[in-house]
Amino acid sequence: MTLSPRLIRPVIGGSILVLLAMATSGDSITAKNLKSQLGRKNVPLIVDVRSRSEYLYGHIPGAIHLPFWSLLWRHAPIAQDQQRQTVIYCEHGPRAVLARALLSMVGKGDVALLEGHMSGWRRAGLPQRSGAK
């Protein structure tokens, strides 16, 4: 039996809507608040889900680079760290929103989005690191 595209599209579309609904609910953190936590002992796990070139150009100090597309295969270290809050950001928001939904599906509970994402961090003149860690 072959499924027609007419039958498949609603299923895929519905799945995307469920992911987006999961992703848009939850916590966020302001850039100012995150910056104030950078020097502390219990700093959140900061995850940059942008592309490699975007990360190398400039990222939040201490952020780990985990491109959005790789989260399906490389989420284990984040999902297993239940003690720390995780803060996810991309350039403008869409990739981070979907990344949070994926992490939620694998059981990671405390995941916040950075308000304004990297573009907001940059506009606020907050510190950045360039190149690899």
Contact in structure between 24 and 55 (CB atoms under 8 Å): no
* Cα–Cα distance, 69 to 87 (Å, whole number): 17
pTM as predicted: 0.78
What pLDDT, on a 0 to 100 scale, did the predictor assign at position 23?
47
Number of domains in the chain: 1
Residue 21 within a domain: no
Look at residue 16 and tell me if it is in a domain: no
**pLDDT at residue number 6:** 62
Instruction: Assess if residue 78 is contained within a domain.
Output: yes
Confirm whether 77 is domain-assigned.
Answer: yes
Does a structural domain hold residue 15?
no
**Has residue 60 been placed in a domain?**
yes
How many CA atoms within 13 Å lie on the side-chain side of 14? 5
CA distance linking residue 96 with residue 117, whole number of Å: 8
Q: How many residues does the chain have?
A: 133
Report the CATH number that the domain containing residue 92 is assigned in CATH.
3.40.250.10
User: Looking at residue 41, what is its pLDDT?
Assistant: 85
User: Can you tell me whether residue 45 is helix, strand or coil?
Assistant: strand
User: Are 23 and 71 a contacting pair, CB within 8 Å?
Assistant: no
Q: Are strands 86-89 and 111-114 parallel, antiparallel or unpaired?
A: parallel
Q: Supply the DSSP symbol for 44.
A: P
Residue 4 lies in a domain: no
Tell how far CA 1 is from the center of its chain: 39
**Domain range holding 86?**
27-123
Instruction: Report whether 89 contacts 120 (CB < 8 A).
Output: no
φ/ψ bin of 5: left (φ > 0), alpha (ψ from -120 to 50), beta (otherwise): alpha
Ordered mean pLDDT values, 10 residues apiece, the chain (133 residues): 55 52 70 93 92 96 90 71 87 93 83 96 95 77
